[in-house]
A = this chain, B = another copy of it.
């Protein structure tokens, strides 16, 4: 991140924003990211503008808010007891969350642009020849995680700890969670044992570890947040964002990021699979999603042997 203070003293005026293109639009969450110029500031420097409609608050739903004389209703169509309308709230209670990045670099533009994604089917051979080599080449440092395990950082955030070197783990609130609202509960269990990269490495030797995380993780969350096992989604990502085994605990009704079937594997299913077949994760074909601009996609798309020769 640049250390300039370019924003200071700048006043953004939306009537001078000239849209170059829509980088991304999510019709479900009502969010758009835009690229353009503030023509009164500069014809050259890019601005990224992110707009997101806001959720309704209880305050909005009062007679001083939406249900006031000032709100107009326009009928679209009525069928029997069902009526459809357009409702026009006053601006004060219907504002839009707005982020301006100015000046924006190419990296910002890429980050907020729509990314093409692809699903791939990874056989054990493709794991060994393509994915594993990719992980070894591109893995980020795990220093931050070892700092947590060694109590050098974030010690005060620990919810629960089992110190056993074989089956132990540390349970923390995920950084995406405010550690308060149980409706968006998101905790992470980091295993103490080093060297288990992902589900691909799991076999029957790890069953005590997996069962321990399930039992003690659930008990700790029940005790601290009063959310029981039947309201928890407990899962592992494949591919994970870092290659040291960890397990996600989220509130079942919370649409946490990355809980889709092409990315998440329920811990109960993982345990059941290994119980049925000790080397399940060394033999199964696993699907996952890669971004089009990720080198891994080139490796999967091309002939895998050829891709490896590039190294």
Contact = CB atoms under 8 A, between A and B. Distances in A.
A88 interface: yes
A63 interface: yes
Contacts of A22: 58, 61
A147 B272 CA distance: 39
Task: Give the secondary structure class of A's interface.
Answer: mixed
Given A54-B30, A262-B266, A98 B84 contact: yes
A261 B270 CA distance: 12
Interface stretch (A12-20, A138-146, A187-195): A12-20
B235 A261 contact: yes
Given A30-B55, A91-B94, A67 B272 contact: no
A230, A273, A280 — most chain B CB neighbours (10 Å) = A230
A32 interface: yes
B262 A19 contact: no
Contacts of A289: 252
A250 to B, nearest CB: 10
A69 interface: yes
Interface in A162-180: none
Contacts of A287: 266, 268-269
A27 B2 contact: no
The 4 closest A-B pairs by CB, nearest first: A261-B264, A118-B230, A53-B53, A27-B55
